[in-house]
Structure 1
């Protein structure tokens, strides 16, 4: 699988395939379609060309609490990977591992200290600001029989303002090239749009959003990310009065 030529230029994905000695090697990915971190990880796996088995867990039915899964991940979170006995969870850590282990170069997470620090900054922003604020807005509606809280919506909108600022005068969230930070963040933004946040009103973010959809079109954007976000959005909207 070679570099993907998109309508907006060459996208510097790694697109690695396994060494012939590893032709029968594959990783298990424990996944839930409604989970943005799960979707981000699966798209990256596809982008890298890593052979994989998707093991879907229905979190709504409590399948993450099955004893078999608890043995693998006592925190019972998705995504989780099993790479020939090497178990890892947390999407940000998984994505960094996959690039280090299977990427043909470091373009998706640069080894350069400064460039790599910016990628890490965006990943921490995703993990500690953007996603938690979206969860804080959505979870009471989905699981607490509550209606949307405008103050929580405002907190998430504030995070979108920050993100829009990151994208000023640069094409990708961590600089001049696509990185794992884009995978992480686009899954959250697609989910936010599905629960009716207006992404289009943020000019830099909206431009990036359009571009990243095209860039990831060959890596499951529609059938992995958009489908999962749409399903999440439908559940959310069904709870509205």
Structure 2
């Protein structure tokens, strides 16, 4: 492993991709420093952060002056540069291609569909002070259910993790997205035992890093439930 400096990461742990990066850094014990960028406070729009990432999005990684701004690229860079256990991003071409296959699919399927449920149930009502738009929520849940079916049939099948017998960065990206609706108290895997078992395997594989990354989401859930 490269030593002598810290990887700098700019994260908001309410962001699903930021949690995936956070988990990998802690599991792989890559020396790093976290800079919190609170999206809800507009800290991603400050002049300093905009100079770092003109797209004003998190996560951002800075490694010895090298700036990277997409979670998929950051995860794969860290796994390659810092010689983490090979299972995270396998070097064998076919196994690596399976990870790339999922992560390419992820950004137009798992990510937007799980995120939309959280946006409709938590973010929009909090920002506007209006009730949840039930018609839009039902449609979003239907789209998400279709995505969950594809996760089971296309990727998980009968193997323990999305891309084979070992956990990879693909599992981190996926599980952090599928946890997001927990912020409203909704477990979207309630009727999906196959995916529930997969989530449990991911949690076991990453240990305390899972709950550390999701603490802010649990807090939102608990505050909402206390008001009911």
User: Counterpart in 2 of 1:114?
Assistant: 94
- Matching residue within 157, 168, 176 for 1:179: 168
SS at match of 2:108: helix
Matched, 1:100 2:88: no
Aligned residue number for residue 44 of structure 1? 24
Q: In the aligned structure 1, how far is the partner of 2:45 from the partner of 2:81? A: 29
Give unpaired runs (5+ residues) of structure 2: none
1:215 alignment partner in structure 2? 205
Of 48, 54, 57, which residue of structure 1 is paired with 2:37? 57
Count of residues paired in the alignment: 217
The alignment partner of 1:107 has SS state of helix
The alignment's TM-score, normalised by the length of structure 2, stands at 0.87
Q: What is the aligned partner in structure 1 of residue 192 from structure 2?
A: 202
**TM-score normalised by length of structure 1:** 0.82
Give the Cα separation in 2 of the matches to 1:92 and 1:104.
16
Task: Decide which moves more: 119-128 or 202-211.
Answer: 119-128
Aligned pairs for 1:6-45 (under 5 A) are: 18-19=1-2, 22-23=3-4, 25-45=5-25
Unaligned runs of 5+ in 1: 1-17
201 and 228 in structure 1: CA distance in 2 versus 1, 3 angstrom threshold: same
Q: CA deviation at 1:109?
A: 1.2
Contact preservation (8 Å) 1:108, 1:179: yes
CA RMSD of aligned residues (A): 2.1
The correspondence of residues 59-74 of structure 1 with structure 2, limited to 5 A, is 59-74=39-54
Q: CA deviation at 1:170?
A: 0.1
1-structure distance, mates of 2:84, 2:140: 41
* Structure 2 counterpart SS, 1:182: helix
The structure where helix makes up a greater share of residues is 2
Q: Deviations over 1:31-64 (max 9, x none)?
A: 1021110011011011221111110011001000
Partner of 1:9: none
The residue aligned with 1:150 is 138
Out of 102-111 and 57-66, give the one that drifted further: 102-111
Moved more, 146-155 or 44-53: 146-155
Per-residue CA deviation, residues 64-112 of structure 1 (Å, 9 max, x unaligned), is 0010010010001111011111000111110000011002453211222
3-state SS of paired residue (1:200):
coil
Tell me the distance in 2 between the aligned counterparts of 1:232 and 1:117.
36
Q: Deviations over 1:125-149 (max 9, x none)?
A: 3221111112223324413545142
